[in-house]
Amino acid sequence: HLNIMENSELNNNHINSSFQREKWFGHEFLYEFHGFWFTNTYLETTQKVLENVKPLPKDVILASFPKTGTTWLKALLHSITHRYDTKDENSLTFNHPRELIPSLETYLFVQEIPQNNTKNPKKARILATHIPYQIFGEILNSSECKIVYVTRNPKDTLISLWHFLRKSKNFEQDPWELDAAVDQFCKGIVPFGSYYDHVLAYREESLKRPQNVFFVTYEELKENPKNCVEKMGEVLGCPFEGENREEEIEEIVKICSFERLSNQEVNKSSELPKVFPLPYNSFFRKGQVGDHVNYLEDEMIEKLDNITREKFHGIGFIS
Ligand code: A3P
């Protein structure tokens, strides 16, 4: 098993010396690449993705900033596209959603991305990425592929990220203090950050090309999951039709719910996945909207809200 964090520690000394870097926490540095920040592992794999990946017209790219609901969307997109596949009925019982849909920049590290299933060229291949549109957009636009972008309010995103990293070895040695985390998040110096610029570019693209880019928020999904699932069916070219459509949608919402997924043995496991340094269970924590109030102090909230207003007021997306 490849441990990316260990690998990145080894590499810290000799790699990426031509990139501007900032200390993050623990032994980790973040490197600036086209105005965004990457761990050195992701910097390498992102470059590899840019060199090697050309989406096919039938592909669906699930794009997101980390901790905004990627795992949930993986489960949903897989379930929507495989709903008539009888061989696939139990896939979410036995597989972690992250293994059903490969993330380009983690997966490419260990193996080639899957080729299109030529026996069934109509079936969409779904690939996930955290790479910002500013960096990946030209490649994404060179194909007719569809993009589903999920995002989440910045305060819950930050708190989810902070909890996630608490499970890393680095955190034990040298914790990422919450006030430092708020500060770095506001400055954009977090992996794949700035969060704000990440969201903005995909948002703008979704407004320009609504047929190809579907933009959805974690909060919308929580509030009206059926509506979101129905819309995603349309975007993915497999709309819900016929007299069973209501039941089909309800079933997908149910099997992908936090309650259901977080209780599957495979998702509760503390084992390490092949391509990721944190255990399977680290992708399921609380699954709620607004959990930041339990962690952030008033002045932290004010600081984040000010940046959010400044960055997002022009696109009508503020939370
Ligand atoms: P919390 O840390 O707030 O609980 P990502 O998949 O992008 O890494 O995002 C992880 C966040 O999504 C975590 O948020 C996790 O608990 C939540 N999550 C995972 N599966 C979910 C689901 N099926 N429904 C709702 N939230 C989910």
| Domain enclosing residue 225, as ranges | 4-315
Report how far ligand 1's centroid is from the alpha carbon of 15 (Å). 32
Token pair 């139990």 is at which residue? Answer: 90
Buried b (16+ CB within 10 A) or exposed e, 265-284: ebbeeeeebebbbbebbbbb
Q: What is the pLDDT of residues 130-182, one digit of tens each?
A: 999 999 999 999 999 999 999 999 999 999 999 998 888 777 778 899 999 99
Give yes or no: 313 in active site: no
Strands 146-151 and 213-217: parallel
Distance 157 CA to ligand 1 centre (A): 10
Cα separation, 224 vs 236, in Å, equals 19
Ligand 1: which of 99, 284, 295 to mutate, most ligand atoms within 8 Å of CB? 284
List residues bridging with 31 in a β-sheet: 21, 38
Mean pLDDT value across the chain: 88
For 127, the enclosing helix (H) or strand (E) is strand 126-129
Q: How far is the CA of 68 from the centre of ligand 1 (A)?
A: 7
SS3 207: helix
Q: What is the pLDDT of residues 225-273, one digit of tens each?
A: 999 999 999 999 899 999 999 999 999 999 999 999 999 998 998 888 7
Q: What is the pTM assigned to this prediction?
A: 0.92
Position 148 scores a pLDDT of 98
User: For residue 196, is pLDDT > 90?
Assistant: yes
- Which stretches of 130-235 are assigned E, i.e. beta strand? 146-151, 213-217
Q: Which of 151, 199, 259, 285 to mutate to test the pocket of ligand 1 (most atoms within 8 A of CB)?
A: 285
CATH number of the domain that residue 80 is part of: 3.40.50.300
Ligand 1 atom closest to the CA of 68, numbered from 1: 7
Which tens digits make up the pLDDT trace of 199-212? 999 999 999 999 99
Q: Indicate the number of domains in the chain.
A: 1
